[in-house]
Structure 1
Amino acid sequence: YDYHTEAMDRAMEGGIDDVGLGVLFGLEMYKYEFAGLLMHAEHLEAVHGVGPHTISVPRIKRADDIDPNVFDNGIDDDTFAKICALIRIAVPYTGMIISTRESQKVREKVIGLGVSQISGASRTSVGGYTEEIRPHDTEQFDVSDNRTLDEVVLWLMKMGYIPSFCTACYREGRTGDRFMALCKSKQIQNCCHPNALMTLKEYLMDYASEETRKVGEELIKSELENIPKEKVKEICKDHLEKIEQGIRDFRF
């Protein structure tokens, strides 16, 4: 009897039209967990017509009272990478999330295999973001990637990716079956690409270091030319100029 599946069904029946799935790999045999995860995604698609908006792939990590070495079901980096690649193939429309649990090396590998959302400068202790120095003694688990957000953003751009801070779909009501239809038809790209450039521009203006800003401005300049629809390109250029002038919160 799967309480997790039942809870997800009840949430969607109650009107929550976007849900995320995830398995903490290392607690059980990974093949069982992996199969269950994909079966759950298939179930949501079949019953509700909307698959998972996101899938997270955390691995068990060392914590104050947990030693992952005592668990028999841990998975190595290569197996973890295969899991990420297979999820991307099996559920191509979903956003895949990887956290700072994983090292820079591991995250760099799986981003190329389909991971689309990552965190940066995360803190896992209660009230951790209010502390000037990371409070290691109260963290829920060890964080492997301790870089600043600026360092993560610069790293992504140097690898050729566009760091996006976009939340437009939620704010525009593009959720549930409306989001899924756009995603599966690949039309979501017409929103995601310009929104990524505009939100990156805001970050560069408001928070970035000099080096990150310089690299980011060049990236935005080159990526503007990759927007296929001329009207969208011109609107995006206009919004970028207004962001330069201090106006914020544009979105498609």
Structure 2
Amino acid sequence: GPKHNYAYHTEAMDRAMEGGIDDVGLGVLYGLEMYRYEFCGQLMHAEHLEAVHGVGPHTISVPRLKKADDIDPTKFDNGISDETFAKICALIRIAVPYTGMIISTRESQKVRAQVINLGVSQISGASRTSVGGYAEEERPTDTEQFDVSDQRSLDEVVRWLMETDHIPSFCTACYREGRTGDRFMSLCKSGQIQNCCHPNALITLKEFLEDYASPETKAIGEKMIAQELENIPNEKTRSLAKGYIEKVAHGERDFRF
């Protein structure tokens, strides 16, 4: 019979990895197919990448079918509730503990708050879904591909994360240092990546506070950075991080571990 969409997806990713792309992400749009099938397919795909290429997914995205100009989600039979969505996020985190999990602004603030505590590690803020949307001062509502539920500014999202004891990170160090594929996975699975992620989060947060944050957000962030610097266990790393953050405060940029 005809292959399911997931079979084509798997084949394409295998060809990409055979061609030298060592970092890949998975994601299914929940709501199109029976969610149990999609969920199992996603985990089997992660297992397959591990078995064949020795490198699992760098990220897993969990988008849900949402309202758009020409889409009414209630007309689809396979839509999933917030409770089921949260369960999927928790089970992905348990099953693939090393992966980054991504959630978009299509989900509400309430849902995002819930799943961040269940293992989601990457969230977007102030997203625009229309072509050229970021060039517009006001959000263009008539050309958006789908509705954005969480419409808070990036400053508001960053402040919210800090107020709920999460450290906002703008870090891209691993990509820029070439820590991808098996290099990234070995660090991640051993837990050693924390020695890079934690100080890099603080350094990039400091850059955001200096360049973009409102006074209120900056005050909360400065307090968090001061506290978290003391939580860096390695003395040399802690000293370097403090030095980098001091340099950022004086206008220098782009430090990383």
Tell me, yes or no, whether TM beats 0.5: yes
Match of 2:131 among 126, 145, 150: 126
> How many residues are paired up?
252
2:120 aligned with 1:115: yes
2:73 aligned with 1:68: yes
Task: Give 1:44 deviation, angstroms.
Answer: 0.4
1:90 corresponding residue in structure 2: 95
Match of 1:189 among 194, 201, 220: 194
Counterpart residue identity of residue 34, structure 1: F
After superposition, where does 1:34-183 map in structure 2 within 5 Å? 34-183=39-188
Distance in 1, Cα, partners of 2:248 & 2:70: 47
Identity of aligned residues (%): 80
After superposition, where does 1:194-209 map in structure 2 within 5 Å? 194-209=199-214
After superposition, where does 1:215-226 map in structure 2 within 5 Å? 215-226=220-231
Match of 2:24 among 19, 25, 36: 19
Q: Which runs of 4+ in 1 moved over 6 A?
A: none
TM-score, normalised to structure 1, is 1.00
Stretches of structure 1 lacking an aligned partner (at least 5 in a row): none
Task: Give 1:13 deviation, angstroms.
Answer: 0.4
Q: SS in structure 2 opposite 1:227?
A: coil
2:219 aligned with 1:214: yes
Task: Give 1:100 deviation, angstroms.
Answer: 0.1
Distance in 2, Cα, partners of 1:79 & 1:178: 34
Cα deviation code 1:166-197 (max 9, x no counterpart): 00000000000000000000000000000000
Q: SS in structure 2 opposite 1:55?
A: strand
Distance in 1, Cα, partners of 2:251 & 2:119: 34
Q: SS in structure 2 opposite 1:21?
A: strand
Kindly report the root-mean-square deviation, in angstroms, between the aligned alpha carbons of the 2 structures: 0.4
Q: SS in structure 1 opposite 2:142?
A: helix
Task: Give 1:63 deviation, angstroms.
Answer: 0.9
Counterpart residue identity of residue 223, structure 2: E
1:235 corresponding residue in structure 2: 240
Counterpart residue identity of residue 218, structure 1: K
Task: Give 1:64 deviation, angstroms.
Answer: 1.1
Distance in 1, Cα, partners of 2:160 & 2:83: 22
Task: Give 1:78 deviation, angstroms.
Answer: 0.5
Task: Give 1:144 deviation, angstroms.
Answer: 0.5
2:8 aligned with 1:8: no
Task: Give 1:145 deviation, angstroms.
Answer: 0.2
TM-score, normalised to structure 2, is 0.98
Stretches of structure 2 lacking an aligned partner (at least 5 in a row): none
Distance in 1, Cα, partners of 2:134 & 2:235: 42
Counterpart residue identity of residue 193, structure 1: H
